[in-house]
Structure 1
């Protein structure tokens, strides 16, 4: 067994490699459509010339899509608050049933929640198929080390997905988690979307290099990572007939309401919670797992908590369109940016309809959506959810911080119906409500904080741990 000093050094080196790789991946343009650069040759079960994006357009009857906004020129139409709210009159009410009945008691919420879930599954993020294969977890490495004065125990896991129904596709979920080595019982777990080949099993780069490991341990928490790309590749085209989506479909194309990558990544977290439930020796409390992600992984973190009610808390950072941002707030990244061949793979195929200039002779836009992101946030209630953003230029207009904050204002009504604390009911003109002062934590069980940094969660990590301790009980702090 390696010495504690050697393991600590390995943790740091691999952490540094991870942060560089994660940063590189987030900075690169997503070349997900068929025919884009860096596309590998199609596997044997995909017919030559197959175009996945076009195949979905054909299924939906879409003849023409509207182009997305240009993120390189964030000014003018689409980046002006004065013209951002024309679709707000069409915004659905989170507390009104589909038949018009008002939800006025907590007892009515499960029925209304089910309606919202159905709309999101059918039209936005897609459904997890009933035949999704089982996962068998294997511990591939166990190491000891230290973070500061805290002794730790790290386990590297691989979740082998049963491929017997379609052996051509192999899916091995990569995950890693660390707990205080001297914990007497199960601890809460802070899981992050991240981790890459070469850095797994040694902790996540952003966690270890910005002090999150120390933050977690000093609050009686463990920390870990799950690699989303080991579940479903972060690209469209032929990749959607591979990964867990392709495996469940036995290599065939998606139907319009099949799951996209965001839902698939969340499914992976759910499988990890299953592991914690089945293995108490892991010293992780499966009822106290929090999920964190930034940017596309911020979207995934919110989707994960919204759909899996076992997720105890979430830190949703800089999530933008497809995450906490209101679709109907026409400011920054928009629906059309997620319906193009570059990013459609995050969503269900049906979502592409809302970027259509011509679908069976008509056009559709964000005002036609049956739901919006305030209802996605509301699906997290009554569990604690922390929405995080940075400031410009690091978090530019593109991510639409105001539109995300206002979505939380509307979701607060559901939290308050369930006896929890949101942003408060004093907000009347939510459409034009300004952001709280930078550095101010707004709310309670549903919280919002804009930090001084850019497109990262790092400056809000200490505030998350101070905040979440009010809602997720942790053991006595290690070392006390």
Structure 2
């Protein structure tokens, strides 16, 4: 199967891997074993949760704890001494319609503390604006062909070694199609993004130089108590911390977005940090929006074989027994409630199990119903390029594992429909 994304930076996307262990990949609907999903509204004592109060005070924390203990691990709080430094501002970018800021987020006191570089584009407006926030795969400099953007601190070369890139200029703007700045800015929204490697390199040994090591003492958390996805999720909350300090941003309307493994990350961050007003999962697949008990495409074993660092060690005990997990991914989606949630799939991305993503969103509906909010409003998978749903929305588009302009257009329209409106 072809790799999902090829550039000078080698990012092995989860849908494109091959595996030496475990049963062959199933793409046959008729071969899916029967399964029963755990009920997000069934309390540990077997009683039904029927009110928002019961959900918020008891059931939601209980489910969050189950995911913490079995799948993603802990997420520590905001570090002491965290501070920001705006390193560059240009008030006339994108043909004079936007402001670009580059900010270093320091995770402790002093400028020697571990840090993350944030790239921020804001439309010129008379009021604070809503912002789409998310991590990027290849470095801030790749989302736009703009020579002023600070390059990534390090990249992953073809030989698998981390290093500063001597050929960084060749990669500028190489992922611009995934970040259609002109479209987003023209609709009145901003974009905030950072390279996920700033938090932890995406490698089984990445923890050795990532924040799970460099911030271990400051955050009072053992390295094995959380995962790479946890570290990346933690970084998204630190982006929100900065946005709350920027007077040009309406941080109460931050829209969290993530694609593929960073879609898994966005869902986990959104579940833990309720400051994000909308959460968007783009092609997040197994360990993200797709149901684990539905054996189709990628499986838990596949994840833990190729990406052992993404999740905590205990998750590996469910490699061949997803039915033993006390949770499934519809329960993760339910933790976003009552905030709007968008789950998106791609027709050719069968590895990520589009139907499993749809069914997961569908089975999160009962929790939204507690808040008297409508979910998908349909019972069957919609046709391609036909978004469905109200507070939960879903689409499957034509094409492959990617983030496209079509996806972004749907996300912007969803934000506007939920009154996260632009200030055009």
TMscore range, shorter length: 0.7 to 0.9
Task: Tell me the CA shift for residue 94 of structure 1.
Answer: 0.7
Q: Which among 326, 337, 345 is matched to residue 389 of structure 1?
A: 345
Distance 1:197 1:317 in 2: 19
Q: Which among 439, 448, 456 is matched to residue 402 of structure 2?
A: 456
Is this contact kept in 2: 1:123–1:257, CA < 8 A? no
Which residue does the alignment assign to 1:372? 328
Aligned residue runs from structure 1 range 264-413, under 5 A: 264-280=231-247, 283-340=248-305, 342-355=306-319, 365-392=321-348, 395=349, 397-413=350-366
Distance 1:302 1:92 in 2: 19
Distance 1:130 1:285 in 2: 22
Task: Tell me the CA shift for residue 263 of structure 1.
Answer: 1.6
Task: Tell me the CA shift for residue 299 of structure 1.
Answer: 1.2
Distance 2:311 2:366 in 1: 27
Is this contact kept in 2: 1:386–1:464, CA < 8 A? yes
| Number of residues of Structure 1 aligned to a counterpart in Structure 2 | 390
Distance 2:209 2:16 in 1: 17
Distance 1:309 1:472 in 2: 17
Is this contact kept in 1: 2:213–2:223, CA < 8 A? no
Gap change, CA 1:189 and 1:130, over 3 Å in 2: closer
Aligned residue runs from structure 1 range 45-444, under 5 A: 67-68=21-22, 78-86=26-34, 88-89=35-36, 91-110=37-56, 111-129=58-76, 134-147=81-94, 151-162=97-108, 171-181=114-124, 183-194=125-136, 195-196=138-139, 198-199=141-142, 202=149, 205=173, 208-209=176-177, 212-237=180-205, 239-250=206-217, 258-280=225-247, 283-340=248-305, 342-355=306-319, 365-392=321-348, 395=349, 397-424=350-377, 427=379, 433=380, 435-444=381-390
Task: Tell me the CA shift for residue 337 of structure 1.
Answer: 1.3
Residues 192-219 of structure 1: CA distance to partner in whole angstroms, max 9, x if unpaired?
A: 3215164486499488546732332232
Which residue does the alignment assign to 1:46? none
Distance 1:206 1:290 in 2: 24
TM-score after normalising by structure 2: 0.83
TM-score after normalising by structure 1: 0.74
Residues 295-336 of structure 1: CA distance to partner in whole angstroms, max 9, x if unpaired?
A: 111111222212111111122111111100111011111010
Distance 1:202 1:472 in 2: 32
Residues 209-232 of structure 1: CA distance to partner in whole angstroms, max 9, x if unpaired?
A: 467323322322111212111011
Is this contact kept in 2: 1:163–1:247, CA < 8 A? no
Is this contact kept in 2: 1:276–1:286, CA < 8 A? yes
Task: Tell me the CA shift for residue 475 of structure 1.
Answer: 4.3
3-state DSSP class of the match of 1:25?
Answer: coil
Q: Which among 353, 378, 391 is matched to residue 445 of structure 1?
A: 391
Distance 2:388 2:227 in 1: 32
- The unaligned stretches of length 5 or more in structure 2 are 151-171
Residues 408-441 of structure 1: CA distance to partner in whole angstroms, max 9, x if unpaired?
A: 11001111221222013x63xxxxx5x2110111
Is this contact kept in 2: 1:206–1:212, CA < 8 A? no
Gap change, CA 1:133 and 1:296, over 3 Å in 2: farther
Gap change, CA 1:387 and 1:411, over 3 Å in 2: same
Is this contact kept in 1: 2:78–2:238, CA < 8 A? no
Which residue does the alignment assign to 1:48? none
Distance 2:119 2:330 in 1: 32
Q: Highest CA radius of gyration, 1 or 2?
A: 1
Distance 2:261 2:67 in 1: 17
Asked if residue 25 in structure 1 is aligned to residue 11 in structure 2, the reply is yes
